[in-house]
Structure 1
Amino acid sequence: MARVTAAGVPEKFQSIQLQEEFDTFDCDVHMFPDLQCLKKRSKIIEIVSVKDVIFAVAQSGLCAAFSRTTNKRICFLNISPDETIRSIFYNKNDESLITVSVYASDHFSSLKCRTTPIEYIRRNQLDAGCPLFETESLKWPGFVEFIDMNCKILIYSVQESTYKVFDLKNYSLLYSICDKDIEDIKTSLSKMLLVYRRTPGHVPLKMLSIEDGKVLKSFNHSLHHNKKVDFIEQFNEKLLVKQENENLQILDMWNSDLIEVSRTEFMTPSAFIFLYEKHLFLTLRNGTVAVWNVRGELVASFEDPLLWHPDCNTNNIYITTDLDLIISYCKAEDVCRDEGEVRPCVGSINVSDILTGKCIAKICPLDPHLQIGPRKRGDADRSTIRSTIKEALENVTALFYDEDRNEIYTGNERGLVHVWSKPHISGDNLRACL
């Protein structure tokens, strides 16, 4: 548990400074003539940190790895000139990074996965990586989904109309589900929900064990005729269903107990975040965050300004492993004027308590104590920070919090990655202050 000061701010979030800046764009493009994604700057869409390595994915499909030991770029992970990396995933089971890519030679129509041990990435030995699912057809709208909470991988092959579940520990196939009538699959800690094509009066559902695919229960859920289904979600043993202009229904899939929440109290969100072990879920709607329990009761509403990105996703917010804090990029209180138009010009990084909705720490451009960390004497390997504090907090498009290093990483529209942390903190010093 982090020590909290009298002012109420956890000590690990005090004295945060802008410590480092990395650039995914390389001005020496002539050194990488085959990488088309280096032709122009592109915004950061995803950041993942593994020990002392920061990975940043740009919208152009470029993925760069940076060392926090040397504060230099290690390599680009694009191993082919026509490779566009769409997403990355850290597999802690074998300490490898999985890249999900498409290729120009394939008209960007099929997903290809590759796993590379982190240790080999550190050495810039990308040829040590291995392709995954080579025999699977992942043409659009096929997909691959990594489910970290139960060590599974779910893929969907359109050509075969088949869903397959693999073990994330060794990539072995566990079971397949072949059914053309399945419209969607929802996963949770130990269960999987199959959502079938709706009929005029109900939607057929099946609850499966995610470990072996065994059917645990088959049932129909009644629907209002001719009304659009806003969402069907699974939350542990609960089924959340909402139709247009109707109340939220929370059904216990074991005993069929039903709870209804008024449509005026619970309006359809743009996204959910499920905190399975806390039996709570977050809803995001129009940039606001609310916390609910499984009885449909509002636990907390976040008191601070709106999220910068209304349709937020897990690439631009971070929830700690203890499920107690959410770190997000929010609209700041100041505005700037541009040809008479008043608009938000810079955001802040807010740390909020999930159970109370209170903002307990903030990296804000208005903070007079927020500084650029001084360069350590004799540290010739350290990169130069060219951005100002305000520039670093403008147009943040991706965010990640490294809990081991106690560092926040943000990426922006210019393809820059910024490191926010306490001055010159090391792993040993961090453990001492928590």
Structure 2
Amino acid sequence: MPRNEPTEGTESWDGEGSARRRKAARYAVPVAVGVVAAATIGLVPAFAGSGSPDLPKISAQDLIAKMAKSDVQQLSGTVKVTTDLGLPSLPGGAGAFGGGQGGGGGSAAPQSKLMELASGTHTLRVASDGPEKQRVSILDKAAEYSLVHNGNEVWGYDSGSNTAFHHTAPGNAAHGKRQAPEEVPPGLKNATPQDLAQRALQAAGDTTSVTVDGTAKVAGRDAYQLLIKPKQSASTVGSIRVAVDAEKGVPLKFTLTPKSGGAAAVDVGYTSVDFAKPAASTFSFTPPKGAKVVDGGAADAKAHRPHGKGGAASEGMKAPEGMKAAQDMSGMNVLGKGWTSIATVKGEGSGLPSGKDKSKGAAGGPAAFLDSIGDTVHGSFGSGKVFSTRLVNALVTDKGTLYVGAVDKQALIDAANAAK
């Protein structure tokens, strides 16, 4: 059958056309917004409507090509994000990654909002006008957090604490260019269906099956549904479904379902979308009267000083946790390929402390809690603890080496055995 001939929606695309995949990886609207992976979401009520539209048949290859050709630079809309990774709760009721109250400090720094999107349902308002103007607002019941990128400036504002975060990237006078700000963390850039679909398609290859699986109505627009399934049995990912706007070629919804079944682990989608140019005022920001303003540039410079001397910015701002984590992960290696890639980090010391260590307190303290949520495993590598979510599993050996990936427990043990 000719390659470009329309086919039934179940035609498989198993990694053919690497050039098209490379193009597809560039289609996403550059909306500097949160999630997740990330991340990185309960949209069924929002998308209930007139059912599946009757659209012309299209092959997976042609649908991906349509996405690659899409050059939508301007849009605004509302996105609902629901994440159910099955993360354990820490003592005191906080989530495993800090809970949903901004860490309790009311910080307006973008990094402080990353972990809030790791669980629960959130509503975002997004707007984009090309690569230099984006805005996202995370709406909460009692407060709103806004992140505004305009040229070489980034503002973050938390209405709950009336705190603003500001960063200006230095210009390059010699070449008449401005540097792009680095204060928008990757996790906050990857919470739209476009960004998440891009990352999923980058993994497409001989380890992946891609098909067109029917149509859908999303945010009032007709869409094709692209179904992505790993072929590697050790992957914890069951399937990824991407609803692609039939006219614009822009992903409108992204749903990741674990192999274990149940509710989606990540579900991100527009409930309303408008492809008109947003008003210029959308990307303007002036701190409200009385707002506490933290200079992000000063924070970054001090955070990189040796031994943390002067590492706190004005008003006592500390180096972002994400930055610390990135420094700790500097020795990371990746084993395997495709959906069963495993990241490994050789730690220092002798691994996790045991809950039996009475020096941690009568109840064992944090060590006892780690023992309670992890499963002890053994292999030729020695012993260790496996910590599991619905999507990502991690093995920490007694020698301090970390193995983590969207793979099952046995794949982690096999990797540790092979690397001993």
TM-score by length of 1: 0.27
Greater per-residue helix proportion: 2
TM-score by length of 2: 0.28
Greater per-residue strand proportion: 1
